[in-house]
Structure 1
Amino acid sequence: MPTISMFYGIIIRMYCAPKEHAPSHFHAYYGDYKAVIDINNCELIEGELPKKQLRLVMAWAELHKEELAANWRLAMESELPFKIEPLK
């Protein structure tokens, strides 16, 4: 699962597999925490992150929604997603 962005100790990854389950999403990791975030509506759909890190991930996802959707399309074709600018 390639890493597409990293910021403030948070790692953002996306699977590259045509049969990855809907809805379009990415995975966020922070220490022992893991979360799955829906790209279309920027909602937590599985797992958990500490509140502060979840807010940072959601803000980043809103800023990069189009890039995340483009990466999802690439990943569904088994192509590597591109890197996305970290939250600053």
Structure 2
Amino acid sequence: MPIISMFYGIIIRLYLLDNLHHNLPHIHAKYAEFEASIGLADGDVLAGELPRKQLRLVQAWIELHRDELLADWELAVSGENPYKIDPL
């Protein structure tokens, strides 16, 4: 599960071959003891939870980097390592 970005104590990961669980392009965000799967299309939480402030930061980051994230998603679901993406 490669880390693709880190900012404000939030770790963003894309799991390899992870298109079976939610079947939507998504990332995994971890902050302290919280973790959530967040959709790339709309920034909605698919599973888990993050504090409101950190969720808003992740959603803003997704908005800024959506094209890069979707390209990384394609790499990850085919089993290749995704590229790092600039933090917020």
Range class of TM-score, shorter chain: over 0.9
Distance 1:32 1:80, change over 3 A: same
Measured in 2, the distance between the counterparts of 1:75 and 1:52 equals 27
Question: Structure 2 regions of 5+ residues with no counterpart?
Answer: none
Q: Tell whether 2:56 aligns with 1:55.
A: yes
TM-score normalised over the length of structure 2: 0.93
| Alpha-carbon distance in 2 for matches of 1:4, 1:71 | 9
Aligned to 2:42: 41
Show CA shifts across 1:27-75 (max 9, x none): 0000000000001122111111111101000000111111110000001
TM-score between the two structures when normalised by the length of structure 1: 0.93
Following TM superposition, by how much is the alpha carbon of 1:85 offset from its aligned partner in structure 2, in angstroms?
A: 0.3
Q: Tell me which residue corresponds to 1:32.
A: 33
Aligned structure 1 segments of 4 or more residues deviating by more than 2 angstroms: 18-21
Q: For 1:33, give the aligned amino acid.
A: F
Aligned residues: 87
Shift of 1:20: 3.7
Q: Identity of aligned pairs, percent?
A: 54
